[in-house]
């Protein structure tokens, strides 16, 4: 098994979910008597809340280099938004960062989906680090909620979900956003916040849901067992 480096902490709830999923998926291959080698570095979520891009880039580069030096053969960033650092960090390290958008794009291709709605916090929905990869590598278009709804989505993610609060109001809001995205042409929905799959389940939605956490964890396990 290959050693995986994990950068967590944004939030710790999502990091726990990643660790649980990777071990559970791996156990299907090797049984419950063993588990894959992983090195976890958990950063302070306040780094992301400061929204200082240079500081964020520098911290993720420093952390990635530490994981590489410690023996990690690939890195998984245990959240969607910090993938904003990918273009800065990846050229400066010698091991691959397993990109969450690649995990999502491969699944969308399997399902034959060409247009995806994207839900998450403000940086994830308005940034290009997921849509760019989906379009360039998989020819998939991404649509997001109306501008007026983005602040409310960001509030629910940053003030509730990343702090372990899963309210009925948040659920109703995101279910409504899914309906609106479907009306705009979405064939599937990316739950682009690691905590969103804990709030919204496939049984509650008619469109296919692409839970980035689950898909990214599977990608990590595939790497761990790659020959």
**Complete edge-to-edge strand list for the sheet that includes strand 74-77:** 38-42, 4-8, 74-77
- For residue 115, what are the contacts with CB-CB under 8 A and spacing of at least 6? 140, 141, 142, 143, 185, 186, 187, 188
pLDDT of residue 141: 96
- pLDDT digit string, tens, across residues 102-123: 999 999 999 999 999 999 989 8
Residue 162 has pLDDT above 80, yes or no: no
Average pLDDT, the chain: 93
Fold match between 4-99+215-224 and 101-211? yes
Q: Taking the C-alpha atoms of 68, 71, 74 and 75 in order, what is their torsion angle to the nearest 10 degrees?
A: -60
pLDDT of residue 32: 85
Residue 58 has pLDDT above 90, yes or no: yes
- Residue 209 in 3-state DSSP? strand
Both ends of the chain: CA-CA distance in Å? 9
Alpha helices in the chain (DSSP H): 12-30, 46-50, 53-69, 86-89, 100-111, 122-126, 131-138, 150-155, 168-183, 196-199, 212-224
Q: How confident is the model at residue 80 (pLDDT cuts 50, 70, 90)?
A: confident
pLDDT of residue 29: 87
Domain ranges of the chain: 4-99+215-224, 101-211
pLDDT of residue 153: 93
- Specify the CATH number for 4-99+215-224; select among 2.60.40.10, 3.40.50.1860, 3.90.209.20, 3.30.1330.40: 3.40.50.1860
Q: How confident is the model at residue 186 (pLDDT cuts 50, 70, 90)?
A: very high
DSSP H/E element including 190: strand 188-191
pLDDT of residue 198: 83
pLDDT of residue 13: 79
Length of the chain: 227
Q: Are 48 and 8 in contact (CB under 8 A)?
A: no
Residue 142 has pLDDT above 90, yes or no: yes
pTM comes to: 0.88
Q: Does domain 101-211 match CATH 3.40.50.1860? A: yes
């Amino acid at each position: 098994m290959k050693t995986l480096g994990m950068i967590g902490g944004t939030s710790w709830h999502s990091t726990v979910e990643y660790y649980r999923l990777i071990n559970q998926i791996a156990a299907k291959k090797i049984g419950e008597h063993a588990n894959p080698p992983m090195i976890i570095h958990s950063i302070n979520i306040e780094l992301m809340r400061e929204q200082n891009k240079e500081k964020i880039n520098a911290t993720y580069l420093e952390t990635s280099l530490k994981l590489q030096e410690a023996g990690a053969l690939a890195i998984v960033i245990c959240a969607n938004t910090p993938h904003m650092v990918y273009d800065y960090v990846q050229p400066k390290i010698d091991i691959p960062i397993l990109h969450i958008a690649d995990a999502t794009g491969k699944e969308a291709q399997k399902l034959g989906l060409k247009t995806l709605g994207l839900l998450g916090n403000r940086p994830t929905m308005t940034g290009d680090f997921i849509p760019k990869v989906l379009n360039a590598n998989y020819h998939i278009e991404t649509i997001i909620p109306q501008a007026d709804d983005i602040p409310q989505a960001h509030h629910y993610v940053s003030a509730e979900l990343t702090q372990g609060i899963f309210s009925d109001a948040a659920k109703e809001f995101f279910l409504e956003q899914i309906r609106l995205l479907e009306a705009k042409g979405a064939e599937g929905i990316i739950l682009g916040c690691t905590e969103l799959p804990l709030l919204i389940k496939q049984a509650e939605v008619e469109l296919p849901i692409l839970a980035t956490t689950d898909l990214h964890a599977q990608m990590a396990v595939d790497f761990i067992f790659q020959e």
